[in-house]
Amino acid sequence: MPSNEKTLLEKPLNQLAFSAEFIAVCHGMGYRTVAEILADGPEKIQEKKKFSYRWLAELTRFLKENGSLGSLQPTPGNNQPPGVPPF
């Protein structure tokens, strides 16, 4: 991960281009930075009580716009379960 990308992900959420609603939900989930969200990974994020697909869409948009969408993926490459062909 380039250092400028890492720095961006470690900034407080309220210094980034997120809605007030997204930031409030993040704080309720215990997150203060995007790096903290990514450290938990998709499975743990989805288990959070305040998780919603609307929240995930905003996170995904931000990551895509900043060239960091791959950071949400827990491991590099295709994450399809064994024996399941990709789309």
CA 12: distance to chain centroid?
A: 14
Please tell me the pTM assigned to this model: 0.78
Helix (H) or strand (E) holding 42: helix 34-47
- 76 within a domain of the structure (yes/no): no
Has residue 34 been placed in a domain?
yes
**CA nearest to 26, candidates 37, 39, 15, 38:** 37
Q: Which domain holds residue 48?
A: 3-68
Residue 33: beta bridge partners?
12
Note whether residue 32 is domain-resident.
Answer: yes
For residue 43, give the nearest of 20, 72, 14 by alpha carbon.
72
Residue 24 in any domain: the answer is yes
Count: domains in the chain: 1
Distance CA 77, CA 68 (A): 15
Q: Does a structural domain hold residue 87?
A: no
Does the residue 18 lie in any domain? yes
Q: Is residue 53 part of a domain?
A: yes
pLDDT of 62: 96
**Domain-embedded: residue 50:** yes
CATH label of the domain that carries residue 27: 1.10.150
Over residues 13-27, the pLDDT tens digits come to 999 999 999 999 999
